[in-house]
């Protein structure tokens, strides 16, 4: 065992200033991890903030000889997963608003990126269904079907252009697993979008 | 470097949309760092952790047991030259895990072990939430395994989890005073290793199961 009983030979814990400086440097990675686990960007920064405060409270548990990003990423993942769990619990029952919506206007398309946009597009024969918004909506749907770790791997690879060995360290998975997550995620996104045929389907003018 | 997907219009469009939709907001790092510094100024600086006499005694005991077990393990088995799939001697695994327990960190929530397991193996484990978990640890003899230390009352118990098809087997040796329990949970294999006397009195050591 290393270290005396008073831990005197262990290097001192990070100071809050050092912690903040390191955190600032690696926030893009942590943000991408949070956004990947959650599948959306809206709460990613809040998650990183929450994880940062947890990290701040556990500075004496961080060993300087270990990888700071990996340590913080672990906390970000747990906070994100907890958030995801709470969110899915809240979504198990439709809200009053949703119930009202369903009862009041059953003919109204519920998918904001779907039928309504198709109708709008149909008014303009020159406009393609596969406009940017529709593509974005379908991509979001496809992303939502991926597992959180696969999404995180995909974003770290695609958005931050990290190497697989870096992703492996950050997400605490073997390098081969990171690689297969990215490969399969890309495949699934492509399959989903091709199945929805949103890439090049022109809208037929109304007769 | 040109990515093979760059030549594929659909893949190129997906990647571009991901980069656009998930661009890290400008200034996020500064905002996070600033909030940390604000919090640090607001809250008093954390006192260095003071160890109580009982915890010092426990640490010394674990150290002594670890050293003793390591010595036992090296006298029992020549570690080098083992065939890759030879069963691992419980003594050396236990000693090595005890030795790596420093800096492992403590699970921040009762579901953390399950989460990590779910991420790594696709199966979530459920452990009694009252059991404090320290981990993850690094098991050099079995690197693909998820290894954690848990405290079962006064008894430290080492848990090792891996896919069933990667199970090298852990061989108990009555001479080294360790109790080894092996469980198969779905596609996973789980070992619990603990010191013999106290563990044997309360078998099964810990109730670990797969989340339904």
Total residue count of chain B as it appears in this document: 212
A144 touches chain B (CB under 8 A): no
* Residue A88 or residue A93, greater confidence: A88
- Provide φ and ψ at B134, rounded to 5°: -110, 130
Do the chains contact at B102 and A3, CB–CB below 8 Å? yes
Separation CA B85–CA A122 (nearest Å): 64
Mean pLDDT of chain A: 74
pLDDT tens for each residue of B162-180 = 888 888 888 877 666 777 8
A19 touches chain B (CB under 8 A): yes
In sign, the C-alpha dihedral spanning B69, B73, B75, B76 is positive
Calculate how close chain B gets to A106, using CA atoms only, in Å: 31
Do the chains contact at A31 and B48, CB–CB below 8 Å? no
Is residue A186 very low, low, confident or very high in pLDDT (cuts 50, 70, 90)? very high
Separation CA A57–CA A51 (nearest Å): 10
Residue B41's pLDDT is 87
* Residue B15 or residue B124, greater confidence: B15
Residue with tokens 């050591």: B205
B106's tokens: 């403590």
Domains by residue range for chain A, with CATH: 16-90 (1.10.1740.10), 111-196 (1.10.10.10)
Is residue A155 very low, low, confident or very high in pLDDT (cuts 50, 70, 90)? very high
pLDDT tens for each residue of B77-98 = 333 333 345 788 888 888 777 7
Total residue count of chain A as it appears in this document: 207
Is residue A99 very low, low, confident or very high in pLDDT (cuts 50, 70, 90)? very low
Res. A195: pLDDT tops 60: yes
B107's tokens: 């699970």
Do the chains contact at A186 and B36, CB–CB below 8 Å? no
Do the chains contact at B103 and A63, CB–CB below 8 Å? yes
Contacts of B80 (CB under 8 A, 6+ apart): none
Calculate how close chain A gets to B170, using CA atoms only, in Å: 23
Picking from B9, B13, B24, the nearest residue to A32 by CB comes out as: B24
Mean pLDDT of B185-210: 65
* H or E element, residue B190: strand B188-195
| Predicted complex ipTM | 0.71
Q: β-strand B125-127 against B188-195: which pairing, if any?
A: unpaired
Closest by Cα among B163, B204, B147 to B181:
B204
Do the chains contact at A24 and B46, CB–CB below 8 Å? no
pLDDT tens for each residue of B112-123 = 777 778 888 888
Separation CA A33–CA A36 (nearest Å): 5
* Residue A179 or residue A10, greater confidence: A179
Picking from A61, A78, A158, the nearest residue to B112 by CB comes out as: A78
Number of A/B CB contacts below 8 angstroms equals 149
Picking from A66, A81, A172, the nearest residue to B103 by CB comes out as: A66
Peptide bond into B204 cis (omega under 30): yes
Q: Say if residue B64 is exposed, middle or buried (CB neighbours under 10 Å; 0-12, 13-18, 19+).
A: exposed
DSSP sequence for A108-160: S-S-TTTHHHHHHHHHSTTSBSS-HHHHHHHHHHHHHTS-HHHHHHHHHHHTS
pLDDT tens for each residue of A48-80 = 999 999 889 888 878 888 899 998 998 898 888
- Crossing angle of helices A16-38 and A44-57, in 10° steps, is 140
- Lowest model confidence (mean pLDDT) among A6-10, A138-142, B97-101, B185-189: A6-10
A189 touches chain B (CB under 8 A): yes
Count of CB atoms within 10 A of residue A9's CB? 8
* Distance from chain centroid for Cα B88: 18
Separation CA B95–CA B84 (nearest Å): 20
Separation CA A20–CA B32 (nearest Å): 8
* H or E element, residue A54: helix A44-57
> What is the rounded end-to-end Cα distance, in angstroms, of chain B?
45
Do the chains contact at B36 and A52, CB–CB below 8 Å? yes
Do the chains contact at B103 and A1, CB–CB below 8 Å? no
For chain B, the structural domain boundaries read 53-80+89-210
Torsion (CA) A45, A47, A52, A54 in degrees, nearest 10? 170
DSSP class of residue B145 equals: S
Residue B73's pLDDT is 44
Chain A, residues 47-106, CB within 8 A of chain B, namely: 48-49, 52-54, 56-63, 66, 71, 74-75, 77-78, 81-82, 85
Separation CA A91–CA A39 (nearest Å): 15
Calculate how close chain A gets to B125, using CA atoms only, in Å: 15
Q: CA of A78: which chain B residue's CA is closest? A: B112
Taking a C-beta distance cutoff of 8 angstroms, is the pair A182, A154 a contact? yes
Res. B11: pLDDT tops 70: yes
Do the chains contact at B115 and A78, CB–CB below 8 Å? yes
Chain A positions in Cβ-Cβ contact with residue B15 (cut-off 8 Å): 158
Calculate how close chain A gets to B186, using CA atoms only, in Å: 20
- What is the three-state SS of B1-23? CCCHHHHCHHHHHHHHHHHHHCC
Q: CA of A133: which chain B residue's CA is closest? A: B17
pLDDT tens for each residue of A15-53 = 999 999 999 999 999 999 999 999 888 899 999 999 999
Residue with tokens 């198990």: A92
Chain B positions in Cβ-Cβ contact with residue A140 (cut-off 8 Å): 21
Residue A122's pLDDT is 37
For A54, how many CA atoms within 13 A lie in the half-sphere containing its CB? Answer: 21
Chain B positions in Cβ-Cβ contact with residue A172 (cut-off 8 Å): 116, 119-120, 136
Chain B positions in Cβ-Cβ contact with residue A58 (cut-off 8 Å): 105, 108
């Amino acid at each position: 065992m290393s270290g005396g009983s008073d831990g005197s030979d262990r290097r001192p814990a990070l100071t809050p200033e050092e912690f903040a400086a390191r955190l600032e440097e690696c926030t893009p990675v942590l943000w991408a991890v949070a956004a990947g686990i959650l599948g959306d960007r809206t709460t990613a920064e809040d998650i990183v903030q929450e994880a940062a405060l947890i990290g701040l409270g556990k500075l004496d548990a961080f060993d300087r000889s270990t990888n700071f990003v990996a340590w913080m990423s672990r906390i970000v993942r747990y906070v994100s997963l907890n958030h995801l769990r709470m969110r899915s619990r809240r979504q198990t029952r439709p809200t009053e608003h949703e119930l009202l919506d369903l009862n009041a206007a059953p003919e109204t398309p519920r998918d904001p990126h779907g039928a309504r946009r198709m109708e709008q597009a149909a008014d303009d024969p020159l406009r393609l269904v596969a406009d940017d918004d529709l593509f974005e909506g379908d991509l979001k749907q496809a992303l939502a079907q991926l597992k959180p770790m696969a999404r995180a791997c995909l974003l770290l690879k695609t958005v931050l252009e990290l190497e697989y060995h870096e992703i492996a360290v950050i997400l605490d998975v073997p390098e081969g697993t990171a690689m297969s997550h990215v490969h399969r995620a890309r495949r699934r996104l492509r399959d989903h979008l091709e199945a929805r045929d949103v890439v090049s389907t022109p809208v037929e003018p109304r007769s | 470097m040109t990515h093979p997907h760059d030549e594929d219009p659909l893949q190129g469009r997906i990647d571009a949309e991901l980069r656009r939709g998930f661009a890290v907001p400008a200034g996020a790092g500064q905002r996070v760092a600033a909030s940390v510094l604000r919090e640090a100024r607001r809250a008093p600086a954390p006192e260095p952790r003071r160890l109580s006499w009982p915890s010092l005694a426990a640490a010394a005991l674990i150290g002594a047991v670890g050293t003793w077990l390591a010595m036992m393990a090296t006298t029992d088995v020549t570690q080098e030259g083992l065939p890759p799939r030879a069963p691992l001697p419980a003594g050396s695994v236990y000693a090595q895990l005890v030795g790596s327990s420093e800096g492992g960190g403590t699970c921040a929530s009762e579901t953390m072990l399950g989460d990590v397991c779910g991420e790594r193996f696709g199966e979530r484990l459920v452990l009694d939430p009252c059991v404090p978990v320290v981990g993850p640890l690094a098991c050099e003899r079995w690197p693909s395994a998820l290894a954690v230390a848990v405290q079962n009352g006064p008894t430290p118990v080492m848990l090792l989890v891996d896919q069933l098809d990667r199970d090298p087997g852990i061989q108990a040796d009555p001479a080294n005073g360790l109790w080894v329990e092996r469980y198969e949970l779905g596609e996973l294999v789980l070992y619990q290793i603990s010191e013999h006397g106290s563990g044997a009195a309360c078998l099964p050591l810990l109730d670990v199961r797969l989340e339904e």
